[in-house]
């Protein structure tokens, strides 16, 4: 038997890219590839890229610049670009960096075996189609290895919302939900390989409407209840949700379904109706407050997180003050905040009214100071409380294990005989800025 070829994948961006990278590695298995942790001895290097902000996209080109040296030394090395930059700028990448052998978009990576074979023959291979066939179904039959205690599972992909700043509807395409039986089969398979917590992924995960075994469309709540029936699966999460798609059934599930964890990522992006309208968010500040109220009525201890953009075109000091006010009223457990980045091809990129970058930077600092204070207060508030923790791996100190709380905090515990995959009750004794320390109850 010939020696296995080595594949190194570097993943940028969101959790869906993490999931996609695993699928790409599986897809290349039949071509004789095993994954390795370093680019140095790899026969093929794949960059799974992100296009959401300019900085993310630029990282790809600087990484390709670095890889050029490696390729000069080892001309047989194959270099591929996958993901959202590949989708948006595929042909341009090959022009700017002629040493790139292969470009594959997020909807065609099940065709990687053929693309890799083509690249192996010394031809350029490019595929950024939105094909008819279901990539997930094409990939389902590949052999799979044992897994750690947590896994991502994509149930929905793409977006029809067209927020004015966002590339996702163009790079990931229209909203598509996977059928219920396929999701359940994949989840059972993950559990049989050691997974105890599944995070359902979708750009608009709560808009999920997959075909059920009864021929009808099932919403996310119904899917969650069906997943909760799987023995051995202890925890379910889902991300990312849109405020307009938080229906009553899903809100009720947050209160009723024991396996559904009390953490919800619910981006609002901005706090001023004027800016929300210009962003084409199709919800208002008030409707967001009302959704949060309904969620907290169903699940009072829920940890809420969000995404924010500052410096969107035409954002004034008064608009920004409304964002700050919204954050104070909602009180978040964690948040991600960004300076607006103009993305080619999006509606907002065509507009005037760009905010002075220094003003935007100052707003970002002000917002992040408030968000960090809220996060720290939430973490300090955990001290003395008991929470469930799913242990994932050894910590840095001897005998220490690290896991995630129900609320998604990193938790350190020092205890004998705690294996990865153990779910235990932990009393929190200390809180830092990014993690908690606890003892087994």
Interacting positions 187-206 with ligand SF4 (CB under 6 A): 203-204
Q: Please name the residue that has the structure tokens 């999460």.
A: 237
264 scored as a contact of ligand 5AD (CB under 6 A): no
Q: Which of 178, 235, 242, 363 binds ligand SF4 (CB under 6 A)?
A: 242
Q: How far is the CB of 152 from ligand SF4 (least distance, A)?
A: 17
- Compare residues 115 and 159 and give the one whose CB is closer to ligand SF4: 159
Interface with ligand SF4 by CB under 6 A: which range of 22-30, 160-168, 186-194, 380-388?
160-168
Q: How far is the CB of 164 from ligand SF4 (least distance, A)?
A: 8
111 scored as a contact of ligand SF4 (CB under 6 A): no
Going by C-alpha positions, the residue among 144, 256, 141, 155 that lies closest to residue 199 is 155
Q: How far is the CB of 23 from ligand 5AD (least distance, A)?
A: 21
278 scored as a contact of ligand SF4 (CB under 6 A): no
225 contacts 266 by C-beta, under 8 angstroms: no
φ, ψ at 166 (rounded to 5°)? -105, 135
DSSP string, 256-312: H-TTB-SEEE---B-S-HHHHHHTT-S--HHHHHHHHHHHHHH-TTPEEEEEEEES-
Given CA atoms 156, 158, 159, 163 in this order, what sign does their dihedral have?
Answer: positive
19 makes contact, choosing from ligand SF4, ligand 5AD, none, with CB < 5 to 8 Å by partner type, with none
User: Which H helix or E strand runs over 70?
Assistant: helix 54-73
User: Which H helix or E strand runs over 21?
Assistant: helix 15-28
270 scored as a contact of ligand SF4 (CB under 6 A): no
Q: Which of 28, 45, 166, 411 binds ligand SF4 (CB under 6 A)?
A: 166
241 scored as a contact of ligand 5AD (CB under 6 A): no
Interface with ligand 5AD by CB under 6 A: which range of 20-28, 95-103, 109-117, 336-344?
336-344
Q: How far is the CB of 160 from ligand SF4 (least distance, A)?
A: 8
52 scored as a contact of ligand 5AD (CB under 6 A): yes
Nearest residue relative to ligand 5AD (C-beta): 307
Interface with ligand 5AD by CB under 6 A: which range of 40-48, 89-97, 100-108, 339-347?
339-347
Interacting positions 298-327 with ligand 5AD (CB under 6 A): 307, 309
Distance CA 327, CA 311 (A): 16
162 scored as a contact of ligand SF4 (CB under 6 A): yes
Distance CA 300, CA 138 (A): 42
89 CB-near residues (< 8 Å, 6+ apart): 51, 57
79 scored as a contact of ligand 5AD (CB under 6 A): no
128 contacts 89 by C-beta, under 8 angstroms: no
What are residue 440's DSSP bridge partners? 426
Distance CA 194, CA 202 (A): 23
Strands (E) located in 315-374? 334-339
What residue ranges bind ligand SF4 (CB under 6 A)? 159, 161-163, 166, 168-169, 203-204, 242
What residue ranges bind ligand 5AD (CB under 6 A)? 52-53, 165-166, 267, 269, 307, 309, 338, 340-341, 343
């Amino acid at each position: 038997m010939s020696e296995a070829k080595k594949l190194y994948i570097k993943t940028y961006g969101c959790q869906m890219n993490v999931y996609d990278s695993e699928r790409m590695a599986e897809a290349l298995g039949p071509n004789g590839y095993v994954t390795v942790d370093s680019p140095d001895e790899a026969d093929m290097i794949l960059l799974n890229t992100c296009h959401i902000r300019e900085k993310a996209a630029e990282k790809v080109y600087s990484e390709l610049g670095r890889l050029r040296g490696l390729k000069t030394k080892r001309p047989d090395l194959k270099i591929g670009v996958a993901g959202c930059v590949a989708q948006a700028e595929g042909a341009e990448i090959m022009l700017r960096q002629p040493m790139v052998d292969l470009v594959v978009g997020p909807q065609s990576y099940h065709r990687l075996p053929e693309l890799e074979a083509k690249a192996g023959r010394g031809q350029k291979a490019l595929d950024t189609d939105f094909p008819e066939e279901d990539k997930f179904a094409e990939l389902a039959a590949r052999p799979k290895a044992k897994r750690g205690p947590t896994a991502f599972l994509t149930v929905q992909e793409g977006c029809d919302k067209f927020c004015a700043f966002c590339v996702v509807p163009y790079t990931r395409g229209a909203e598509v939900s996977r059928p219920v039986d396929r999701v359940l089969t994949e989840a059972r398979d993950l559990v049989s390989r050691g997974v105890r917590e599944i995070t359902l992924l979708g750009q608009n995960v709560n808009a999920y409407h997959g075909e059920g075994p009864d021929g009808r469309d099932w919403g996310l709540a119904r899917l969650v209840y069906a997943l909760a029936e799987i023995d051995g699966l202890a925890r379910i999460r889902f991300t990312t949700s849109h405020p307009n798609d938080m229906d009553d059934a899903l809100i009720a599930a947050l209160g009723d379904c024991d396996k559904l964890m009390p953490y919800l990522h619910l981006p609002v992006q901005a706090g001023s109706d004027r800016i929300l309208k210009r962003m084409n968010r199709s919800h208002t500040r008030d409707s967001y407050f009302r959704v949060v109220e309904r969620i907290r009525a169903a699940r009072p201890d829920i940890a809420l997180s969000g995404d924010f953009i500052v410096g969107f075109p035409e954002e004034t000091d008064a608009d920004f003050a409304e964002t700050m006010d919204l954050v104070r009223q909602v009180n978040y457990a964690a948040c991600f905040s960004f300076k607006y980045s103009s993305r080619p091809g999006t509606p907002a990129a065509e507009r005037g009214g760009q905010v002075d970058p220094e003003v935007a930077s100052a707003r970002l600092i002000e917002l992040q100071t408030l968000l960090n204070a809220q996060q720290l207060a939430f973490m300090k508030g955990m001290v003395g409380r008991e929470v469930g923790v799913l242990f994932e791996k050894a910590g840095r100190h001897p005998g220490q294990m690290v896991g995630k709380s129900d609320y998604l905090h990193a938790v350190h515990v020092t205890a004998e005989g705690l294996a990865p995959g153990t779910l235990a009750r932990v009393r929190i004794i200390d809180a830092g800025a990014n993690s908690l320390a606890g003892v087994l109850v």
